[in-house]
Amino acid sequence: MSDNAGKANRRGRPGYDLGRLLDVTVRVFNERGYEGTSMEDLSQRLGITKSAIYYHVSSKDELLRLSVNRALDALFAVIEEDASRTGRAIDRLEHVVRRSVEVLVAELPFVTLLLRVRGNTKVERQALARRREFDRIVSELVEQAEAEGSIRPDVDPALTSRLLFGMVNSIIEWYRPSRGLRAEQIADAVTKIAFDGLRHERDRDLVE
Amino acid sequence: MSDNAGKANRRGRPGYDLGRLLDVTVRVFNERGYEGTSMEDLSQRLGITKSAIYYHVSSKDELLRLSVNRALDALFAVIEEDASRTGRAIDRLEHVVRRSVEVLVAELPFVTLLLRVRGNTKVERQALARRREFDRIVSELVEQAEAEGSIRPDVDPALTSRLLFGMVNSIIEWYRPSRGLRAEQIADAVTKIAFDGLRHERDRDLVE
């Protein structure tokens, strides 16, 4: 990706490097749907010719692949962070949840596109396979946290990871950057609710 | 709805009453998108003529309205239940969350259609308005629960209700009736996570 962008810059080509081209492309995909978007639509929205787009990518399919991989690479990078790999499983899980919220907010249009992929093409099926791999890693973290006794033993790990990331992923449905809510505030709310629960301390003895 | 169905039965008309017609229609809408579905598509899938469809409804738009209202009516009926209206706010909130999970599972294709509505037509905008009204009621319940001191005071009510229902609504993304998970099990998991938190009791003193 940086190679292509570098080439464009070296040639002094006006307009878009690949990163900025994807920024616009992903917005059009989200508005019209990937299948409902033609290279002609993209050319018009970008204000450049189709051959200028083909300078960067070989096909619409490659634009989709680069776009969903931008989201997936960012999520998998979270899993590679030190705090996701060392320490107690509950802390690693909390770190992954918190950083995933930050990735969703930072890469909102790319994650939105990713989460709408239904598996109609090879690129889409590859994206779904990577999503399942991410889910599996989260689910294993939940299992490890149960095994170490740091989270309640009476919830199913797979169901828990689905619900946890259901909460996280809902961000694409309601988050509007313009409203001034910061990623950190959302991450705080998610971890407070999911790890410590909404119920007030002084109310707990009544139910447990 | 039952009137029309009654009429059809009295006439001995073979095939569909309105309820069964909607069951099929909503599946086609979910597969192809509302805009991507023609009355001809529906006629083929139902195996009846277009005029047999027009016996029940005046337009495709009316099919959409009836379909999203089936989901919305079921959700608003939850809010009217005694346990949603009397008692402590936290218990009312928990009841609404639990019963909403049950509605999502019972009316999965209808809620799926509802949650994908984007506001492109008058019917869609009316559906979005009713969704916002539902969100407002949940948000008020969170506020009342904070005011009565039964839930933690350090989470924003609007953000909390979005995250809570983000978790609930994620059901449409991953739930498959065939896998044998019952609504009650999902509702238990949601309320355990959201109200009491994942963190194990004996782990709490370390962090609070």
| Number of Cβ within a 10 Å radius of residue A189 | 20
Q: Which two tokens stand for residue B161?
A: 């209700």
- Number of domains making up chain B: 2
Confidence grade of residue B18 (pLDDT, cut at 50, 70, 90): very high
Closest Cβ–Cβ partner in A159, A166, A204 for B166: A166
pLDDT at B69 over 90: yes
Task: Determine phi and psi for A138, rounding to 5 degrees.
Answer: -65, -45
Q: Do B152 and B108 lie in a common domain? A: yes
Partner-chain contact A90 B207, CB within 8 Å = no
**Which pLDDT value is given to residue B9?**
44
Chain B residues within an 8 Å CB radius of A162: 170, 174
Chain B residues within an 8 Å CB radius of A156: 185, 189
Name which of A80-89, B122-131, B135-144, B150-159 the model is least confident about. Answer: B150-159
Q: What does the pLDDT average to over B23-46?
A: 95
Q: Is residue B204 part of a domain?
A: no
Q: Do B13 and B78 lie in a common domain? A: no
Q: Do A33 and A110 lie in a common domain? A: no
pLDDT at A67 over 90: yes
Q: Do B183 and B130 lie in a common domain? A: yes
Confidence grade of residue A14 (pLDDT, cut at 50, 70, 90): low
Boundary of a domain, candidates B27, B57, B87:
B57
Which residues in A8-37 are b (16+ Cβ under 10 Å) and which e?
beeeeeeebbbeebbebbbebbbeeebeeb
Partner-chain contact A171 B166, CB within 8 Å = yes
**Which pLDDT value is given to residue B14?**
57
Confidence grade of residue A205 (pLDDT, cut at 50, 70, 90): low
Q: Which two tokens stand for residue B169?
A: 């609504």
Interface of B with A (CB under 8 A): 90, 145, 149-156, 159-160, 162-171, 173-174, 181, 185-186, 189-190, 192-204, 207-208
Confidence grade of residue B49 (pLDDT, cut at 50, 70, 90): very high
**Which pLDDT value is given to residue B205?**
59
Partner-chain contact B192 A154, CB within 8 Å = yes
Partner-chain contact A149 B200, CB within 8 Å = yes
Partner-chain contact A155 B186, CB within 8 Å = no
Q: Do A35 and A98 lie in a common domain? A: no
Residue A199, beta-bridge partner list: B151
Boundary of a domain, candidates B39, B57, B75:
B57
Is the complex ipTM more than 0.85? yes
Q: Do A53 and A76 lie in a common domain? A: no
Partner-chain contact A150 B203, CB within 8 Å = yes
Q: Is residue B11 part of a domain?
A: yes
**Which pLDDT value is given to residue A5?**
45
> Can you give the CATH number for the domain in which A41 is found?
1.10.10.60
DSSP 3-state of A199: strand
pLDDT above 70 covers a percentage of chain A that reads 91
Q: Do A74 and A48 lie in a common domain? A: no
Mean pLDDT, chain A, whole residue set: 90
Q: Do A186 and A108 lie in a common domain? A: yes
**Which pLDDT value is given to residue B12?**
43
Q: Is residue B206 part of a domain?
A: no
Q: Is residue B22 part of a domain?
A: yes
Q: pLDDT tens digits for A177-202?
A: 888 899 999 999 999 999 999 888 77
pLDDT above 90 covers a percentage of chain B that reads 79
Q: Is residue B62 part of a domain?
A: no
**Which pLDDT value is given to residue B15?**
73
Report whether B139 contacts B158 (CB < 8 A): yes
Closest Cβ–Cβ partner in A170, A181, A198 for B195: A198
Q: Do A52 and A103 lie in a common domain? A: no
Q: pLDDT tens digits for A119-148?
A: 989 999 999 999 999 999 999 999 999 999
Q: Do B6 and B85 lie in a common domain? A: no
Distance of CA A71 to the CA centre of its chain: 5
Q: What does the pLDDT average to over A94-100?
A: 97
Half-sphere exposure (Cβ direction) of A93: Cα atoms closer than 13 Å: 29
Q: Which domain holds residue B116?
A: 67-199
Q: Is residue B205 part of a domain?
A: no
> Can you give the CATH number for the domain in which B88 is found?
1.10.357.10
Q: Of B95, B103, B8, B106, which Cα lies nearest the Cα of B48?
A: B8
Partner-chain contact A155 B198, CB within 8 Å = yes
Chain A residues within an 8 Å CB radius of B166: 166-171, 173-174
Q: Which two tokens stand for residue A188?
A: 């705080």
Partner-chain contact A163 B193, CB within 8 Å = yes
Q: Is residue B72 part of a domain?
A: yes
Q: Do A96 and A177 lie in a common domain? A: yes
Name which of A151-155, B100-104, B131-135 the model is least confident about. Answer: A151-155
Q: Is residue B136 part of a domain?
A: yes
Q: What does the pLDDT average to over B115-137?
A: 95
Closest Cβ–Cβ partner in B171, B189, B199 for A195: B199
**Which pLDDT value is given to residue B201?**
76
pLDDT at A1 over 80: no
